[in-house]
A and B are shown apart, each in its own frame.
Chain A
Amino acid sequence: EAQVTQNPRYLITVTGKKLTVTCSQNMNHEYMSWYRQDPGLGLRQIYYSMNVEVTDKGDVPEGYKVSRKEKRNFPLILESPSPNQTSLYFCASLGTSGGGRTDTQYFGPGTRLTVL
């Protein structure tokens, strides 16, 4: 079954304690992305990756790091979390066919993060 998995699904942590949210996809997709969702703000892109070792900033990258060492994995790292990073996080991957005309973005189930 084609899917994007995220772990953990729920996390409560304290300010300053480094954490990693993992993301993995089994569809051999080149493109992966991280979003955060906040009430009234919709989804905002944090980072995205066009392929292995290729990453770029989205609209809200401050306070986050990513790496893409393998095609299937795209972890999101919060080196020193702060309360304003409390949010719902989504990982997504995108596969292409037909020159990009028929591509579809698949989303993971989301990670609810609370930083106290």
Chain B
Amino acid sequence: AQTVTQSQPEMSVQEAETVTLSCTYDTSESDYYLFWYKQPPSRQMILVIRQEAYKQQNATENRFSVNFQKAAKSFSLKISDSQLGDAAMYFCAYRRSYTSGTYKYIFGTGTRLKVLA
């Protein structure tokens, strides 16, 4: 069975600095998707970034980028130039390939990010 592990329950970063959130996963499949979701105090789940396992290039979205290490089964999120609005709970998630016939998602336990002014 697939699993997703976020080993950092809480992290802090100074405003304008860079922070990296860790995520590891376990799967025997070769084709899958990985995601980072942000959950601010409003509780809304917001997709931050996604990575397709067949792509070697790391995904980037503005100040957010990932370090995808397929062999190590690692998927970390880097937030550059941190802003107060980045303060939130961040969830890493795994999903099997569309060709598997299911869209079952598996989420990690989350990392709470605090941004210090």
Interface set of A (CB-CB < 8 Å, partner B): 31, 33, 35, 40-45, 48, 50, 56, 58-59, 88, 90, 92, 94, 96, 99-101, 103-105, 107, 109-110
Complex Cα distance A90/B107, Å? 13
Q: Is the interface of A mostly helix, strand, loop or mixed?
A: strand
Contacts of B9 in A (CB 8 A): 40
Q: Name the contact of B108 in the complex, choosing from A42, A88, A105, A107 (C-beta under 8 A).
A: A42
Residue of B nearest to A94 (CB): B103
Complex Cα distance A103/B97, Å? 11
The answer to whether B98 and A101 touch across the interface, beta carbons within 8 angstroms, is yes
Q: Is the interface of B mostly helix, strand, loop or mixed?
A: loop
Residue of A nearest to B52 (CB): A101
Contacts of B116 in A (CB 8 A): none
CB within 8 Å for A109 and B43 given contacts A41-B109, A100-B98: yes
New contact pairs (8) apart from A42-B91, A100-B97, CB-CB < 8 Å: A45-B106, A48-B102, A48-B103, A50-B102, A101-B52, A105-B103, A107-B44, A110-B44
Q: Name the contact of A88 in the complex, choosing from B43, B102, B105 (C-beta under 8 A).
A: B43
